[in-house]
């Protein structure tokens, strides 16, 4: 079985299927209408959204003005990954994104794992976005004098967890901290009840999911037009925020630049990386591009560069307009302008937040069905997932299932949980894509096809590792003693077991770095994929042991499904049996 579960789908076969116009078995294929401009717009639509309007404020609060370094770190990690995605997209112009790439590089079992993992990026991530959209909508309606009842615009577990946090802080006489959760506590107490259970549902989150699912269902052309219009609107708003905000910047707010040192900056990894998620989503539209081998790499790079510049400027404006300690709020952008007397911007920002999160939902709802479609073509999911609508030429059944998977949980789940799961799932996909480039045989450069520039990392990677070790020792003399001695200087009361539990991801990262460095020295690995793999895996370690445990449980559930259904129905497996 070990050989059969690692059976690979050759790039030649994948490309041949694409060239032959692979359809759903009923003569219906996807419409090829997307250009570089459309792909760049889709990338910006996915990236500039829930992060910049909902999670970045907390990152600014934790890291201060120095949070721009975290944006740069995440941009570099995403940049390395984007180069690897671009080569795969150029060599394998098929829907499926990292799933299809892993099938060619690692084999079927890893492809299934990454396909199952991508559900966390697209579907689970969209639960967060839908909940965020609901909050943005209620804020906007409040600004114009309208109101949705709180118990119909709040997720059940968000209210429950908020109430628990309120009671815990009140028990410790922390009235200031409890004030942040008083609204959720009141919603939990005052909501109508069915028996003893409060009736609390996030209906706006469900409503927007239904609307976006319908838009994706009726065609890529309609989705493209909507995405382009929303991107244009939010870029105008973001540019206005930056231009007006810089006029009100007080440089004194940038001192100290790293108030909580580098550790404070890194606390925002989940929030900041979540703000970058999406540039890779355009790779799922490969079969709807006019020229995917040329246009997909350009679309990824353009969108990533534009978004990084905007993020850094927004962070500088925010932390310059007001002190970073005032940014730990849900409406931090509007609050920063209100503090300067620019109340009119509050309404504009609230509206743009609604539009921005709508565009993110759109792109991710496009991506998930196409990944399931690719998996279904390979026999790893039931055939219905690859069936295309005869009129709209979209994966209709997979689109409806995606709508249900996103819409129903958004009624009651807490967004904090799914944000972390989305980030760790996406980073894992990036790690495998970077690793896949190392494994795939190098090919000659062909006109119109992108290839990651080859820089021999044989000596460069060990030198970087040695320099990093020496630099860390000089800057933090006690680091290695505390790290290997299982001592947490920030929390000295923790037992060695508690410290070990939290450091397991870091030990795993250390082993990975050492192993890849040795293997790269022997096999002359290319530098860029190695750096992408290292940077993404390091960001995974910063997400904490609890999220790793949840992630592992999710993967185990996926493996059960694979061995119960996918392994037996694999198209590649059936072909191998026929050959034998």
Give the C-alpha separation, 399 to 367, whole Å: 9
- Classify residue 381 by its DSSP letter: S
| CATH number of domain containing 129 | 1.20.1740.10
Q: Residue 21 has what pLDDT?
A: 47
Q: Residue 25 has what pLDDT?
A: 43
| Nearest alpha-carbon partner for 278 in 418, 9, 78 | 78
What range does the domain containing 558 cover?
Answer: 460-579
Rounded mean pLDDT for each run of 10 residues along the chain, 580 residues in total: 71 64 47 78 75 71 85 83 81 72 83 85 81 82 82 86 85 78 85 87 92 83 70 82 86 86 76 72 73 80 87 87 78 75 74 80 83 86 86 85 91 77 83 84 57 87 92 82 78 79 88 92 91 88 86 91 90 67
Q: Residue 550 has what pLDDT?
A: 87
| Nearest alpha-carbon partner for 417 in 114, 119, 127, 60 | 127
Residues 48 and 131 in one domain: yes
Q: Residue 19 has what pLDDT?
A: 56
End-of-domain residue from the set 198, 232, 267: 198
**Is 496 within a domain?**
yes
In angstroms, how far is CA 80 from the centroid of its own chain?
15
Q: Residue 17 has what pLDDT?
A: 61
Token pair belonging to 441: 């045989």
Residues 284 and 316 in one domain: yes
Give the C-alpha separation, 270 to 43, whole Å: 19
Strand partners of residue 526:
456
**Is 59 within a domain?**
yes
Token pair belonging to 550: 């949840």
Q: Residue 53 has what pLDDT?
A: 66
Q: Could you write out the DSSP letters of every residue in 53-111? A: IIIHHHHHHHHGGGHHHHHHHHHHHHHHHHHHHHHHHHH--STTTHHHHHHHHT-HHHH
Q: Residue 330 has what pLDDT?
A: 60
Residues 178 and 252 in one domain: no
Residues 83 and 115 in one domain: yes
CA 358, 363, 369, 371 dihedral sign is negative
End-of-domain residue from the set 166, 198, 230: 198
Q: Residue 522 has what pLDDT?
A: 92
Q: How far apart are the first and last CA of the chain?
A: 15
Q: Residue 439 has what pLDDT?
A: 81
- Specify the number of domains making up the chain: 3
Q: Residue 221 has what pLDDT?
A: 65
CB atoms within 10 A of CB 474: 9
**Is 441 within a domain?**
no
Cα distances from 102 to residues 7, 10, 429, in angstroms, run 11, 11, 9
Residues 190 and 327 in one domain: no
Q: Residue 498 has what pLDDT?
A: 80
Residues 108 and 255 in one domain: yes
**Is 236 within a domain?**
yes
pTM score of the predicted model: 0.79
Residues 369 and 514 in one domain: no
Give the C-alpha separation, 386 to 573, whole Å: 18
- Say whether the peptide bond before residue 256 is cis (omega within 30 degrees of 0): yes
| Nearest alpha-carbon partner for 275 in 236, 325, 228, 314 | 314
Residues 465 and 491 in one domain: yes
CA dihedral 313, 318, 322, 323 (to 10 degrees): -90
**Is 253 within a domain?**
yes
Q: Is 459 helix (H, G, I), strand (E, B) or coil?
A: coil
């Amino acid at each position: 079985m070990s050989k059969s579960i690692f059976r690979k789908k050759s790039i030649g076969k994948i490309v041949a299927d694409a060239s032959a116009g692979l359809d759903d078995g009923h003569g219906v294929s996807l419409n090829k209408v997307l250009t570089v401009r459309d792909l760049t717009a889709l990338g910006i639509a996915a990236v500039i959204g829930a992060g910049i309007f909902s999670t970045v404020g907390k990152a600014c609060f934790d890291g201060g003005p120095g949070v721009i370094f975290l944006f740069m770190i995440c941009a570099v990690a995403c940049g390395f990954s984007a180069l690897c995605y671009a080569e795969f997209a150029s060599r394998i112009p098929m829907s499926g994104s990292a799933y299809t790439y892993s099938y060619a590089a690692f084999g079927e079992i890893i492809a299934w794992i990454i396909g199952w993992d991508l559900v966390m990026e697209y579907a689970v991530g969209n639960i967060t976005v839908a909940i965020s959209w609901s909050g943005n909508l209620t804020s906007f309606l409040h600004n114009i004098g309208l109101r949705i009842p709180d118990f119909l615009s709040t997720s059940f577990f968000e209210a429950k967890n908020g109430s628990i946090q309120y009671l815990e802080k009140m028990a410790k006489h922390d009235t200031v901290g409890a004030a942040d959760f008083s609204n959720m506590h009141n919603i939990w107490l005052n909501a109508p009840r069915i028996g003893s259970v409060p009736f609390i549902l996030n209906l706006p989150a469900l409503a927007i999911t239904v609307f976006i699912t319908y838009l994706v269902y009726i065609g890529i052309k309609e989705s493209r037009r909507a995405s382009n219009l929303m991107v244009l609107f939010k870029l105008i708003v973001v540019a206005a925020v930056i231009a007006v905000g810089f006029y009100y910047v007080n440089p004194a707010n940038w001192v100290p630049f790293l108030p909580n040192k580098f550790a404070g900056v890194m606390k925002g990894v989940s929030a900041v990386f979540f703000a970058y998620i999406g540039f890779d989503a355009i790779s799922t539209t490969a079969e709807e591009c006019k020229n995917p081998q040329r246009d997909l790499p350009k679309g990824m790079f353009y969108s990533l560069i534009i978004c990084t510049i905007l993020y850094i400027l927004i962070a500088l404006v925010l932390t310059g307009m007001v002190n970073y300690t005032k940014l730990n709020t849900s409406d931090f952008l509007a609050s920063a302008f209100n503090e300067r007397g620019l109340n009119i911007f509050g309404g504009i920002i609230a509206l743009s937040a609604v539009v921005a999160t709508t565009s993110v939902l759109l792109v991710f709802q496009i991506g998930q069905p196409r990944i399931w479609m690719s998996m279904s073509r390979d026999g790893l999911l039931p055939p219905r997932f690859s069936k295309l609508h005869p009129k709209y030429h979209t994966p209709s059944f997979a689109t409806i299932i995606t709508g249900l998977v996103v819409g129903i949980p958004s009624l009651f789940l807490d967004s904090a949980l799914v944000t972390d799961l989305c980030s760790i799932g996406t980073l894992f996909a990036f790690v495998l894509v970077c690793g896949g480039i190392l494994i795939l045989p190098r090919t000659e450069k062909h006109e119109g096809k992108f290839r990651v520039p080859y820089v021999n990392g044989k000596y460069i990677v060990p030198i970087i590792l040695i320099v990093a070790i020496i630099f860390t020792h000089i800057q933090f003399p006690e680091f290695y003693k505390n790290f290997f001695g299982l001592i947490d200087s920030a929390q000295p009361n923790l037992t060695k077991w508690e410290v070990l539990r939290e450091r397991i991801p870091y030990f795993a990262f250390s082993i990975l770095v050492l192993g890849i460095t040795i293997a790269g020295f022997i096999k002359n690995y290319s530098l860029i994929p190695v750096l992408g793999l290292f940077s993404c895996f390091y960001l995974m370690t910063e997400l904490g042991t609890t999220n790793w445990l949840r992630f592992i449980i999710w993967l185990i559930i996926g493996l059960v499904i694979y061995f119960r259904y996918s392994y037996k129905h694999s198209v590649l497996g059936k072909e191998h049996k026929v050959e034998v």
